[in-house]
Amino acid sequence: MGARTVTHPETAMYLPDQTIDLSSPPTARACHLGMDLGSTTSKIVLVDPFNKIVFQRYHRHQAEVLSTLLTMLAELQRTCGNIPVHPIFTGSAGMGLAEQTGIRFIQEVVAQSQAVKMFHPYCRMLIDIGGEDCKMIFFDQRTRPDMRMNGNCAGGTGSFIDQMSSLIDVPLSSLDEYAQKSGLEHEIASRCGVFAKTDIQNLINTGAEKSDIARSVFKAVACQVVTSLARGRKIEGPVMLTGGPLHFFKSLRTALLDVLNLPVDSAILPTESLIYPAYGAALSIDQNIDEGFNVDQLIETLQKRVRKTELSDCHPPLFSSKFEYTTWSEKRGRHQVKSAPLSEASAGDIYLGIDAGSTTTKMVVIDDHCRVLFKNYSSNRGDPLAKVRDGLRQLDKAMQPLAKRLTICGAAATGYGEDLIKAAFALDIGIVETLAHYRAAQEFEPDVSFILDIGGQDMKAVHIAGRAVQDIEVNESCSSGCGSFIETFGDALGFSPEEFGALACFAKHPVDLGSRCTVFMNSCVKQALRQANDVADVAAGLSYSVIQNCLHKVLRVGDVSSLGPKIVVQGGTFKNPAVLRAFEKLLNVDVICPDIAEYMGAFGAALLAREKATKLLTNMATEPAKLLSVCQPTRTTDSTCKGCNNNCCVRSVHFSGNRTYCTGNRCEKIFTNSGHSRKPGRNLVAEKLSLLDQLAQDRPEATTMCIGLPMVLNTWENYPFWSTLFSGLGWRVACSRISTTSLIKESAATVMSDNICYPAKLAHAHILDLLKRGVDRIFYPRVTYEHPNFEDAANNYNCPIVTGYPDVIDSAINPVACGVPMDSPLINFNDNQQLRSGCKTFLARFAIETTVFNRAFDQALQAQQFFKQALLSKGKEVIDAARAAHQPLIVL
C-alpha cells in the first residue's frame, strides 16, 4: 500500500493512502459494528462488507456508558436505517455489557493489531494513548505481536493531561496551542500525578509561562509512555499513533517522537486514530457468520439485558434517614470559632495568617481577643500571589469605611507556599504547617490528643501527648486519601464537590471500593458503574475510601485507642459531610470538626503571629495597602546550579528590598530561602571521586585493546581493582562518564522494569555511554560475594540485582548486537584464591603470560586495599573533628 504526506491545519504527518466516504450507504448484507467503550469515551464504527467505514461517532460518556451508547445507536438508526449488523464490544467498559448481553468481545490491543495487520503490514509499532491507559504493540513478521499496557500508573494517559490542564487553568482545547508557543522545557515528574502537581505548582508559584508548562506536560507524558512500556524493546518505525490525546495534540506527537528518537516521517496518524480500537474490532468479525441483529433489536437487547448487579460488599449507609442527618448536623454545628465583624473590632492591632496551600489560599485576620474578623478562601488557579493580593484588597476595602484605625502588627505565612509569600510580602514570620494546625486545634480543644488535617493533595496527622507534639505523619507519595482524590472523581462524573457530598449522604448501598491508589480506584469505580450501581452509592463508597486510604496508607491505625480521646479533624476535605461521617463510622468515634475546618492553617498562623508579635520585636506594623505595594516581583532570573551533577534549573524571583525566592533546587546547599547561609560540611563523596580520578590519571597509556568499565553498582566500588588489573596487562581502561540527566534520558526506553532500583536503572545509561565511546569490549562481571567489611560478618552476599544485572543488560541492550562484546564472568571477592582463579579463567582466552598476570593481580589487590584504607582514614578524620568540636554527626 502506498503512503502520502498530507498537510492539515493541526498537523503534517505521514498518512496511509486510504479514502473513506462516510456518505456511502450500507449494503444489503450485514455490516460489522465495532463498539469501543473506554474509561472516558465511547466510540462506534460501522464497517460495510468491503471494510469501508460508513458511520462513526466519538463521545465522552461521563460515566453514563449505556445511555451514551444508546444515543449513538439511535443516531446510527436515523442515519442508516434499521439495518442488520454484527456487533462486537471492546474497551474496559465494554466487557461488562458483553457479559450481560452475550455479544462478542475482543480485547482492544488485539483489535488494534487486527487493523494494523490488514492495512499497515509494514508498521513496526503502535502507540495508543487513551483516557486512563496507554498501549504499545510491537510487530514482527516472525512472531506474534508483543502487546503491552500500563499497569499501576496512569501518568502517561489522557487523564493525566486533563488534570494538569485544570491545574494551570488552561482549557484542554487550548493546551496544544499554548505548548506550540513555548521555548523552554521544565522537568516535571511523569510517574505520578501527585508529584507532577507538586512540580507544576512550584513552576506556577515562580511565574513560569503557562506555554512552557504545557509543553513540559506533553514531554512528561511522552517520557512516561516510553519508559513504562518500551522496556528494552528496540524502537523502530514506522510507528502508528492512535487515541484521543495523540489525535488532538500535535505537541504530544512531537514530544513522543522526540523521546523515541524517530523522525517525523516515520509516524502514521490514520484518519481513524480516534476510533481505531472500534475499527479494529469491527474488522475482526468473521465475514461468514450468520447471526446478527437489526439496529432496533440491538437497542432493545441492551435496554432489556443490562441489569443492575451490585458489588457483593457494601458499606452501611452514612445516614439511615434525613432525620439522623439533621440531628448530626446540629450536633456538628456546636464547634464554632469566636468571630466578630470588622466593624466591631477595637481600634488597634490585628493579626494576619496566610495559608498558601498546594491548590488553595486561605487568609484569616484576628484581633487581640482571638476573634476571627475576616477570612478569605480562594482556589490558586495557577497564581497564588494574585490570590493573596485579591484577599488583601478585599481586606483593605472592608477596612476603608471604618472610623477606627486597624494596624496589622503581626503576619505569618504557612503551607506549601510559605517561603514565596514571606518573600513577596516581606513577612517576618513563617510557621511550619503542622504547628499552625496544632495551635488552631487548641482553640477548640486545649487537651486535643490527635489532629488529622486532610487537604487537597496532602494530609497531616499530629499525635499530641501532654500538650506537646509527640509524632507527625504526612503523606509522601500518594494522594488517594486527600481531597483531590474525591474531587477528581466528582469532576469525572460531572458533579461539584458539594453536589457529590450531598449525593453520598443519602446513598442506600455505598459501594466498597477498598483502599487503593487513585489509578486502581479508577478501575473499581468503572466496574461499579459498569454494573449499573447508582452514582450516589459510588460517591458514598469514595467517601469511605478517602478515610480508608488515609488510615491504612498513612496512619496505619491498628488500635483506635492510640489516637486518644479527643480528636480534632480539619482541612477542606472535612467540609464534605460524607467524608466526616465516614471517618466517624469507620472508627466509631465522635470527633470535633470546627466550622472553619478549611481555614485552620491560616487561623493557627494568625494566632502564632499574635503571640510572636507580643514576644518579639517585629518589623510588621502596616496596613493591607502597604503590603500590596511591596509584592510585585522586580525581575526573574533562571540559572543552572553547579553545586552537584543534578544541575538543577533554579528560578530566582526578586522583589524590592533585596528579597529573593528560589525554586527548582533539590537542596539548599547553594540556593536557600531560609534567610541565612550554611557552612558546608566535608564532602567525602567528592573526596572519594577524587581518589578514583587520581587512580585513572596514574595509569600509563596503553596502545592495545580498550576495555570499558561501567561505573555502576559494585563495579564502581571495585574500580581500583579492575582498573589496576587491566592496566597491568597493558590494556587501555575507559570508564563511563559520571551520571547526568541527559545520559539517563537517552537510556530510558531500555529499562525493563518500573520497580527496579534507580542505581540499577543508571547501569543502562553507562553501558550506552561505553558503546558510544567505541570501546573494544565491555567488562561487567557477575559478583556474588563481596569483600568482607568486618572479620565477623555473617556473609558478604551481593544483592541479587547487583549480581544478576549484567544478564538484564545483555537482554535489554545486547551490546554484542552493537558490535561490542560484553564479558560477564562469575567473580567472588570474599576469598583471594577464588578471586585469582576467577580472573585467570576469564583471561585465559587472551593468552596472558602467567608472570604478567600474577604481577598485575597482586598490584590490583594492593590498589583496592589502599583505596579502602584511604576512605577509612578520611572517615575517621571527620569523626575525630566532630568529637573535638563537640558537633553532632549524622551518618547516612
* 525-562 per-position pLDDT tens digit: 766 776 667 888 888 888 888 888 777 766 676 677 88
One domain, residues 622 and 574: no
Cell of 12: 503534517
According to DSSP H, which parts of 310-368 are helical?
322-332
One domain, residues 569 and 475: yes
Any domain includes 315: no
One domain, residues 706 and 719: yes
Report pLDDT for 616.
47
Cell of 332: 456538628
Query: Cβ distance 54 to 25 under 8 Å?
Result: yes
Distance, CA of 723 to CA of 732 (rounded, Å): 9
pLDDT digits (tens, 9 = 90+) for 244-298: 899 999 999 999 998 888 888 888 888 888 889 999 999 988 766 766 788 888 8
Report pLDDT for 253.
92
One domain, residues 160 and 91: no
Residue 304 carries which side chain, given as an amino acid letter? Answer: K
Report pLDDT for 346.
74
Distance, CA of 203 to CA of 195 (rounded, Å): 13
One domain, residues 232 and 135: yes
Report pLDDT for 382.
60
Any domain includes 596: no
Distance, CA of 226 to CA of 190 (rounded, Å): 11
Distance, CA of 238 to CA of 126 (rounded, Å): 9
Query: Cβ distance 441 to 463 under 8 Å?
Result: no
Any domain includes 262: yes
Instruction: Please state the φ and ψ torsions of residue 474, each to the nearest 5 degrees.
Output: -135, 155
Cα-based distances in Å from 633 to 206, 207, 429, 654, 749:
10, 10, 20, 6, 41
Instruction: Please state the φ and ψ torsions of residue 463, each to the nearest 5 degrees.
Output: -95, 130
Buried-exposed string 342-376: b where 16+ CB fall within 10 A, e elsewhere: beebeeebbbbbbbbbbbbbbbbbbbeeeebbbbb
Report pLDDT for 7.
30
pTM: 0.65
* 42 Cβ contact partners less than 8 Å away, ≥ 6 residues apart: 35, 36, 57, 58, 59, 60, 61, 65, 68, 69, 72, 93
One domain, residues 293 and 351: no
**Which residues form the domain of 656?**
633-663
Cα-based distances in Å from 528 to 37, 511, 525, 538:
15, 7, 5, 7
Task: Please report, for the domain that includes residue 582, its CATH number.
Answer: 3.30.420.40
Instruction: Please state the φ and ψ torsions of residue 25, each to the nearest 5 degrees.
Output: -75, 145
One domain, residues 397 and 471: no
Any domain includes 403: yes
Q: Where does a domain end: 247, 269, 291? A: 269
Question: What is the number of structural domains in the chain?
Answer: 6
Task: Please report, for the domain that includes residue 66, its CATH number.
Answer: 3.30.420.300
Q: Which residue, among 556, 603, 597, 600, has the nearest Cα to 579 in the 3D structure?
A: 597
Report pLDDT for 698.
52
Let me know how many helices (H) and strands (E) the chain has, helices first.
Answer: 30, 31
Instruction: Please state the φ and ψ torsions of residue 506, each to the nearest 5 degrees.
Output: -115, 20
The DSSP symbol for 737 reads: P
User: Between helices 158-167 and 172-180, what is the axis angle to 10°?
Assistant: 80
* 661 Cβ contact partners less than 8 Å away, ≥ 6 residues apart: 206, 419, 420, 423, 424, 652, 653, 655, 673
Any domain includes 255: yes
For the chain, residues with pLDDT lower than 50 are: 1-24, 27, 309-311, 616-618
Any domain includes 715: yes
Cell of 426: 516581606
Question: Grid coordinates 506533553 are at which residue?
Answer: 218
Report pLDDT for 622.
66
Distance, CA of 472 to CA of 465 (rounded, Å): 12
One domain, residues 557 and 575: yes
β-strands 659-663, 732-735 pairing: unpaired
Any domain includes 597: no
What long-range pairs does 82-85 form, CB within 8 A, spacing at least 24? Answer: 82/294, 82/295, 82/296, 83/26, 83/30, 83/31, 83/294, 83/295, 84/29, 84/30, 84/31, 84/292, 84/293, 84/294, 85/30, 85/31, 85/32, 85/33, 85/46, 85/292, 85/293, 85/294, 85/295, 85/298
Report pLDDT for 363.
92
Query: Cβ distance 56 to 47 under 8 Å?
Result: no
Distance, CA of 377 to CA of 624 (rounded, Å): 17
Distance, CA of 365 to CA of 606 (rounded, Å): 7
One domain, residues 644 and 705: no
Query: What three-state secondary structure class fits 887?
Result: coil
Cell of 339: 468571630
pLDDT digits (tens, 9 = 90+) for 87-135: 999 988 888 888 888 889 999 889 999 889 888 888 999 999 887 788 8
One domain, residues 502 and 514: yes
Report pLDDT for 621.
53
Any domain includes 120: no
β-strands 706-709, 777-779 pairing: parallel
Residue 569 carries which side chain, given as an amino acid letter? Answer: V
The DSSP symbol for 268 reads: E
One domain, residues 152 and 261: yes
Report pLDDT for 638.
75
- Which uninterrupted H or E stretch holds 859? helix 850-885
One domain, residues 73 and 145: no
Report pLDDT for 831.
82
How many C-alpha atoms does 648 have within 13 Å on its Cβ side?
17
Cα-based distances in Å from 586 to 582, 590, 710:
6, 11, 53
